[in-house]
Amino acid sequence: MPTQKSKTNGNIFANGWDANGSFEKLADAGRGNMEAFVAATSIAAQGFGDVNQAWFAFAKRAFERNGVAAEAIFAAKNPADAAELQADWARSAFDNYVSESSKITEMAVKTANDAIAPIRARVDGVVETFAENAN
């Protein structure tokens, strides 16, 4: 017949194994969180690097176009021609800026969505695990 002490020792031993499994689950959760964070950071760094390159490429093209426009304006034969060239340049520069900034903004939004995807997936997995354990 088991004594009270042997029952208690058996419970402690069993609880110890349960706790060990819990620590492993906790470690796995932490590892999964870190992997999701690293993946998100990597995606963000690459994507926003691409966004940065797009802005610099746009700035370079705009600088070149502005130089050509300035030469044309300064070469105008009279002030009326210069004003017309300047108005055409301003309209073209504005339209180009709006178009390019829209493209680059779309790149940034896509990058942000792509970067958050690993974290979103991790959160969904954790919520699912909690829901399964609650039942």
Tokens, residue 35: 């992997």
- The residues, any chain, with a CB within 8 Å of residue 71's CB and separated by 6 or more, are none
**Interval 41-72: pLDDT, tens:** 999 999 999 999 999 999 999 999 999 999 99
What are the distances in angstroms from CA 6 to CA 17, 18, 20, 30, 66?
Answer: 17, 18, 21, 36, 89
pLDDT at residue 135, rounded to an integer: 64
pLDDT single digits (tens) 82-129 = 999 999 999 999 999 999 999 999 999 999 999 999 999 999 988 887
Handedness of CA 79, 82, 87, 90 (dihedral sign): negative
Domains in the chain: boundaries: 4-134
The label of the residue with tokens 């779309």 reads: 106
- Token readout for 95 is 């339209």
What is the rounded end-to-end Cα distance, in angstroms, of the chain? 36
